[in-house]
Each structure stands twice: as C-alpha cells, then as structure tokens.
Structure 1
C-alpha cells in the first residue's frame, strides 16, 4: 500500500481484520501492525501461535524477528500493560505524570488533560477529578492555575500511583454496573466478583452539557446508564449486567 494516503490506515485495518477474522476476539488482538496472540495456558499458546503463523504464511505476510517476542506472561500492548490478571496502566505514563511539574500555561494544561484522557478507564469519576483543570481553560482560554487545580493535580498523581488493575471478565459471567451522578458529570464502574471480592473491569465518566445539568436526578441517572451502555457495548452484548443506583429507574423507564 502506498504511503501518505489518508485512508491507508483504515484500509489496512480492514484488511487485517478480514485476515484474522477467525482469531480476533478468541485468541488474538490486531491493531494496524501490532499483533498480540493470547492464550489461557502455556500449552495452548503453542497451538495458538501455530494457527497465527499458518494464517501469516497463507497470506504471505512477513514479520520482523527483531520486533517479535514469544512466551511472555506480561507485555505492553497499545500503551497498556497486559497480563493474566488483567490490564494495568503503562508504568512509563505514571512516571511521566509523577515527574510532571504543575502546569503554567494553556498548552501545559491541555497536555495534562490529554494524558489523563488516555487513562480514563482506570480513574473512578475521572471527569469530577479533572473538573478544576477544565475550569482553568474554559472556552479555550487560560484563566489561572488555582489552589483547587494544584490539589486536584496532586491527588490524581497519588491515585494513579496505585491505579487499579482492570480485571478480565469470564465468559458469560454476570457483571455489575454502579452508576453515579454529580452536578458536573455522570460516572459508572463495571464490576465483576472474583471469590467474593469486587474487581473493577472498566470506569466511565462524561461531563454534563449545560442543558443536561438541569435534568432531574432520575433523568441524570438514566443518562448515566445510556452513556455507560454505549461505552461498554461489548460487555452488554456478552454478559448479563445488573445495574445498581440510588435512584429508582423504573419511574422513567
């Protein structure tokens, strides 16, 4: 494929999706030229690798040996640390945030919020935690870095230093969705039970639009459910999900 074409990336992604269609979602993840063959056991891994190489050979695709790693219990993939227990934040991102000085300009705050956006799935009520930063750059203009911003910044550093591991759901197990609403955002956390212990699977959060801030509490909870269902669609399609909230949703359903 020619370099420089605007649709090159999307076209190539569709191509690899078709090539590995029988494996994606079962024992493989593919994003552009990043491929990950995953297995439940070491014994099964040899079979999965053979299946992958058979497909590569069939379509005459070649790999760069210097960029291949085999038999790893944990590996960085698309910016996340993936292992048997689940998904962790990339340690390099955490280190960069911990060493980041307090923002002093508009671009500094935008860089901070951009970095945090990639970690939203690990942060409970991320929009609420980041609200002071957005107020500091309201309407794309730099206002000031207040004490409230500095406090929120330091608390986020502390939180991400012990960020949770996102657990991997078991096929067809029941998951639990907890909803929360505040004056500025809707949030949710998808939970699974492992030996009686609650493990987070995914956190979501969305800032309320000006019109949405005037919704009734019940309407905000309904909005939180709709937002979570759209964001977590693959989980809703593959699992039974129980929804928990402090508001009786039956009143508006």
Structure 2
C-alpha cells in the first residue's frame, strides 16, 4: 500500500482464487484510510465515544499520589520509547505539578511490543463478532464477505477509528480468536497454547500440581470428563496431604497429554436440529457432552464438554437421573433410554438367568385369591412457607401456615436489630415453627426459598458461620416438638405470599406494644363501579363529519 521507502503491508488469505484476490486487493486499496501504520496516521477521536467520566467529589475524596512502582530494566527503554511516541503524536501532554499520579502499566504483546493504553469501541453487528480486543468480520459465502467488510469499514470511517495493520488478515478461512483456532470446521485448541502443557515434566511439588491444573482451565471444554480424570491430582491438593506422585497420578498426567495430541474439534450447533446429551455420573464428579448428529456423514459431532467436581454436600445428593427427569418435565426435551442389546425387554433377564430345559413349570401363583389392591392415600398435612426481607428500610420475616382444609394463617414480625440475610432466614424459619407449635400441629411440611437454611437443617450442608450455630441448634430443638416434619426447598416464584408478608413487615413502622392483625385479602373479580351504558343518540356517528364536508 505504501512506497519503497515506506512500505505498508496488509495480509490476505492464500486460499483466495485469482478473482477473489483481485477484488480483495482493490477493496483494501479503496479503504486504506481505515488503517494506521503509526501514531501519526491516527486522527483525533470524539470524546463522547472513548471518554469515561467519573463524577467524583474531590472534597470528600481528595486525590492521592500512588507509590512509585519500579519497572524491570528490560521494560524501561520500551516504556520511554512508547511515551515519546505518544507525546510526539499529541496523545500525551506534559503536565507540571499534577495532583493525580498513576503508574504506567505495560502490557506485553505476542510480538514483543508493549502497549500502555488499549482503546476499543463496541461494534457488535450481525456480520461482526467482537470480543475485548479481537474483531472478526464473518460471512458464510465468499461473495458476501466484501459486502460485510464494506459495512464495517464505513462504520470505522464514520467514527474515525483505525485498525492496526499488523494484526489484520483478510480473506482467511481460519484464524485465532481469544486463544482458539476458529475455522469452517469448528473450534479447536491453539497448538501454541498447549505446547507448554505438553512439555511439562511431572510435578514434584504441590505448587506445580496447582499450576498444571490452572493451565487445564484453558482446555476444559475440549476434554471429556476432565474432572474425573484429575481426581488423583485433586487428592494432592488436600490440606495436610503428602506429596506422593504415584502410578495413578502419572496415569492421569499422561492421559491428559494424550488428549492434547489429538484434541477434539467443537462445532457450533445447527438450529432446528435435535441435541444429544451424554451424562457420566460419578460419586465425586459429573461429566457431560453436548453433541449433534451431522446429517451428511451420519456421525455425532461434539459441541461442548462440561465437567464438575461435586462439593462435599453435593456428593450426597440424589441420583442425577432424578434431577434430569425434573429438567425434562419443564423443557421440551425428549429422553431416549438405551435400547436393549437383544432388542426385546424380556430377552435380557432370560439371557442373564437361564433355566434348564427339564425344569418343570410352576403353575402356582401366590396371592391368586386377591382381586384388588388399593393404595392407602395419605391424609393431607399442615404446610408452612417462610421467607425474609432485608432492605434499606429494615428487616422483616414472614410465614404462612396452611391447614389441611386450605385455610391460611399468616404471621409476620419486624426484626428490630441488625442482621444478615442468612440470620433473617433462620429467624423466619423459627417464627414459622413457633406458630405451628402454637396451633398444636403434629405433622408439618416446611417450605422455604433459602437453600442455606433448608440444606443445613437437612444435614446436607455444614454450618460453618459462628453466628448461625445457635440458630441451627435452636431450630433442631423446635423440630423435636413434631411427630413428623420435613423441610423442602422451593423457588421464590412459589413462595410469594411469605415473601410479601416479610417485605410488608420490613417496611412498616411498628411501635413497641402495638399488634397489627393480618388483613383479610379478598379476590376482586370485577371493577368496583357499576357498568355504565351510554344512551344512543338520534344522529349517526358520522354526523359531524358530514356537516364539516358540507359547510367547510
């Protein structure tokens, strides 16, 4: 784009045919003003685009000088050179006796250069993908690529933004975005990124094990059930655990490296095509793979891998199939179980437990005289919903007790002392149990939207906060007053009545000694006023229009 004395180079893809190559070169020559090869070629920007104004009160928050931060000797020359460039270009102005002082933060780039300021304007369109400091102009067909680039360059010219020519590549079928290689085939790991992981020796210290696992966060979505493969490594990170690199650790270390040699290519999902979800459930971890079938090759392609390490309380949860069934009932997902190997439902048990040919058939059926078995229905029990509300006005707790016949008995209390959300949840639960004891309830089902209170009461979560210990012990003492009691977590959407009572109690101003009885809430199915029927006029509705047309 430049001259022999001052060459200006732009990179284009080698996969372009001669016609596309010529059109691309002519297009870039036409829009070469959107590129900047130096600071001198960058125009001034509108402050409304790039300026971030902070309305600070300098009287209450006076400026403070930061302590001088020493830089490495290898960076001092680069910092000095960069500052001189920006002063010559007019980006920086020398200021004497400044009250505001900020240290320079150099950021190393891939090509060895440093940058002190990174400016990028948000331009997200249907034809452009923007991610922090990376931008991609994309198109499915080659003919539409120049059209999308023209829209992008016109926007750049409008706001006087410039592209760094050294970081631009046009007409490419693949490229690096946020550390991954993106192409028409899908997304895969960058070989340069995983090179450091492949060349790592076996760790000899806990710090090296932790560093190895942190590097794996980059490729966690490309390895199936990574958490289960790293269980032996997680064991080394436990408190007071000895650093013993045994055969299982070395096996997990080699298995992960083997995955990096032939990493999976993740493909984007195709709309209006069923998704396939594979689950692998262990006691300590959960792994899943989301895939989709390719109609052309009839093969399954991976979209995303996910793995999760269960916490101590989560490992005691019910089976994952129960949670999946709850998920399937809410969303439009079809569950397809594994088909039998024999193709029939009876073939499997017959093949597993064969009988001899000479075995006589037993024609005696037990309990053949029983004609019908009725299931005893459980009688409805009392139910209790509780919730809390903590806001800037105050705190309040509320609960509603529901009898077997459907009668509602609300209770609420204003918490007149400073407390956290968790403490208020315990206060609400204790209030609900005390109200049930006053009603002499023997069997009670308690519902709340506080996972902490419910799961700590059930024993699935440990109580670690010292403030909650006395509440937890008192709650267990109150539970002994019932012959049968259960605690169930319910979402906020199904606990609106108790939440409304708690909010009302928190915002109301109640003096000491005053008791406010709960209000009776009626259901108004129609307006309070009577229906008004307008009398029909003798003249038609268009009488005024006709007079206007006749008389003007």
Structure 1 length-normalised TM: 0.77
Structure 1 CA distance for aligned equivalents of residues 205 and 301 of structure 2: 38
Shift of residue 37, structure 1, vs aligned partner? 1.5
Out of 113, 138, 145, the residue aligned to residue 245 of structure 2 is 145
Shift of residue 170, structure 1, vs aligned partner? 2.0
In structure 1, the partner of 2:318 is 216
Q: Deviations over 1:44-98 (max 9, x none)?
A: 1111111211222222211111111111111111110100010011111332222
In structure 2, the partner of 1:201 is 303
Shift of residue 119, structure 1, vs aligned partner? 0.6
In structure 1, the partner of 2:211 is 111
Structure 2 CA distance for aligned equivalents of residues 94 and 223 of structure 1: 38
Task: Name the SS of the counterpart of 1:149 in structure 2.
Answer: helix
Contact 1:186-1:207 at 8 Å conserved across structures: yes
Structure 2, unmatched stretches of 5+, are: 1-50, 53-101, 105-117, 339-552
Shift of residue 241, structure 1, vs aligned partner? 5.6
Of residues 138-147 and 58-67 in structure 1, the stretch that sits farther from structure 2 once superposed is 138-147
Out of 135, 154, 158, the residue aligned to residue 258 of structure 2 is 158
Q: Deviations over 1:135-164 (max 9, x none)?
A: 111149663322211110001111221111
1:127 and 2:192 are equivalent in the alignment: no
Q: 1:40 to 1:183 in 2, by over 3 A?
A: same
Task: Name the SS of the counterpart of 2:163 in structure 1.
Answer: coil
Out of 269, 280, 294, the residue aligned to residue 169 of structure 1 is 269
Out of 160, 185, 193, the residue aligned to residue 93 of structure 1 is 193
In structure 1, the partner of 2:138 is 38
Task: Name the SS of the counterpart of 2:213 in structure 1.
Answer: helix
Q: 1:242 to 1:29 in 2, by over 3 A?
A: farther
RMSD: 3.0
Structure 1, unmatched stretches of 5+, are: 6-11, 227-235, 247-253
Contact 1:16-1:32 at 8 Å conserved across structures: no
Equivalent pairs counted in the alignment come to: 222
Task: Name the SS of the counterpart of 2:232 in structure 1.
Answer: helix
1:83 and 2:183 are equivalent in the alignment: yes
Q: Deviations over 1:120-146 (max 9, x none)?
A: 110100110111111111149663322
Contact 1:106-1:142 at 8 Å conserved across structures: no
Shift of residue 218, structure 1, vs aligned partner? 3.8
Out of 164, 184, 189, the residue aligned to residue 289 of structure 2 is 189
Between the two structures, name the one with larger relative contact order (CA 8 Å, sep ≥ 6): 1
